[in-house]
Amino acid sequence: MTARGDGATQRRRLLERVFELSARLADDMAGELDAQGLTRARAELLWRLHASGPVTQRALSEVLECTPRNVTGLVDALESAGLARREPHPTDRRASLVTLTDEGQATLTRWRDGYDDLAERLFAATPAADLQGFETTLERMLDRLRESAEMKPAP
Amino acid sequence: MTARGDGATQRRRLLERVFELSARLADDMAGELDAQGLTRARAELLWRLHASGPVTQRALSEVLECTPRNVTGLVDALESAGLARREPHPTDRRASLVTLTDEGQATLTRWRDGYDDLAERLFAATPAADLQGFETTLERMLDRLRESAEMKPAP
DNA sequence: TATTGTTATACTCTATAACTATA
DNA sequence: TATAGTTATAGAGTATAACAATA
């Protein structure tokens, strides 16, 4: 008979729930993207592009933490899909500026609305005070993870 | 001047934190696995195998929600790595039973310890009462996601 | 000489379709 | 006839290395 409510047991169960949450959110998102004919990697690029405005592929490769070669393929796909395009860099003829098309912009607007819908769906039934506590615990978790990420930054 | 502390704003910020948590946990895990020469897909198979005991590839393809062909490749890789092996099925000569090797078992034991360490690292600094509240809110979120997953189960 | 982005090549995960050996 | 697992083929993400054009 081990004691129920044991701290380690609670923590283990909690972490399991957190992983389930991650998995379900990822599934949810993958489903949405699939319905739009997009993949996660391409969506991530669009998202970053929206956040930054027009940028070089070099900059994208740094933000996405992948190789320039990888960016080439993603931009090719997004260009074919009509969501982004390459424009000449005004001063550096080696580089090009990746830009959202109007359709790309529209896609991002839809995502923002979907994001808010999801936030409401997940949290609307929870009192604001509880959400405050939730955020505090969440931030503690993030602090621990940020700490360990700082310890091993350069691969 | 929109009101700060507005409900929608809080929810949006909270969802952002949740996504950051997911991303950091995934990065953390990918780093660990990479150090062990494993990929996420192979680790997932090992994990399921540990949970189920020896099973057919057919069963694995259902649990992992992927094609039998995919399982073939993953088991091939795990077999080469010495973590799993195929054994003849006792009654069905078409099928084989995938089994953890001793090294595979040892790997799983290490993971279990690492899992508990992570749970402690993330939660030890948070009072048990706060964790209780955290779990309640987490469960509400999961309920919402489980609901929508049930609505569209069969692709 | 260094940098931007590309082509060439390769590995992993994933899927569909066709096929073999069994049930 | 149906099932378990394989081979064959293909697309997507990712990586390294070599190369062109330009800085």
Q: How does pLDDT run across A132-148, given as a tens digit for each residue?
A: 999 999 999 999 999 98
What is the percent of chain B where pLDDT is above 70? 94
Residue in B closest to A11 by C-alpha:
B119
> Could you write out the DSSP letters of every residue in A62-112?
HHTTS-HHHHHHHHHHHHHTTSEEEEE-SS-TT-EEEEE-HHHHHHHHHHH
Could you list the mean pLDDT of each consecutive 10-residue stretch along chain A, which spans 155 residues? 70 97 96 96 98 98 98 98 98 98 98 96 94 97 93 61
Q: What is the pLDDT of residues B120-139, one digit of tens each?
A: 999 999 999 999 999 999 99
Question: What per-residue string of b and e applies to B92-118 under the rule 16 or more CB within 10 Å gives b?
Answer: eeebbbbebeeebeebbeebeeeeeeb
Q: Which nucleotide is nearest to B71 (CA to C1')?
A: D5
pLDDT at residue A61, as a whole number: 98
Q: Nearest residue to nucleotide D23 when comparing alpha carbons to its C1'? A: A92
Distance from CA of B86 to the nearest CA of A (A): 29
Residues 6+ apart with CB under 8 A from B19: A25
**CA-to-C1' distance for B35 and D16, Å?**
19
**Separation between the CA of A113 and the C1’ of D21 (whole angstroms):** 43
